[in-house]
């Protein structure tokens, strides 16, 4: 496993995410949003772009984010997990994509 103690907002990491019912897990990329002492707040990333929600953000794969294909960042799919589920960093969002994610997160929170 790679050292995942110093991840910051915008890092894209491979994680072993549990299904919402806890029955099993799936290896998938996640976006790091924040870190506290031992845990990370992460956002789901999906390559199933046909099921995009109104707030979700579509981002092309590139040399910086290292995603395998165009992906949807799921604004409403945010979790807090122990760092033990995180395997390795694969990439990072561009400055422009980071700004778009932050702006959309603000809109999401303000909608409450």
Delineate the domains of the chain, giving CATH numbers in brackets.
11-110 (2.30.30.110)
pLDDT classification of 1: cutoffs 50, 70, 90:
very low
State residue 3's pLDDT score.
66
- State the Cα–Cα distance between residues 69 and 76, nearest whole angstrom: 21
Q: What is the pTM of this model?
A: 0.89
- Radius of gyration for the alpha carbons in the chain, expressed in angstroms and rounded: 13
pLDDT tens string 34-64? 998 889 999 999 988 888 888 899 999 999 9
Average pLDDT over residues 56-77: 93
Do residues 94 and 64 lie in contact, with contact meaning Cβ atoms separated by under 8 Å?
A: yes
pLDDT classification of 95: cutoffs 50, 70, 90:
very high
- State the Cα–Cα distance between residues 53 and 1, nearest whole angstrom: 33
- The single-letter DSSP state of residue 112 is -
Residue for token pair 């960042």: 73
């Amino acid at each position: 496993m790679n050292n995942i103690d110093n991840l910051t907002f915008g890092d894209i990491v491979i994680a072993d995410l549990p299904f919402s019912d806890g029955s099993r897990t799936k290896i998938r990329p996640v976006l790091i949003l924040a870190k506290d002492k031992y845990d990370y707040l992460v956002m789901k990333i999906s390559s199933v772009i046909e099921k995009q929600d109104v707030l979700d953000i579509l981002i092309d794969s590139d040399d910086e984010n290292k995603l395998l294909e165009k992906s949807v960042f799921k604004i409403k799919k945010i979790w807090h997990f122990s760092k033990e589920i995180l395997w390795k960093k694969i990439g990072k969002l561009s400055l422009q994509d980071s700004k778009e994610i932050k702006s959309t997160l603000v809109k999401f929170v303000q909608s409450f």
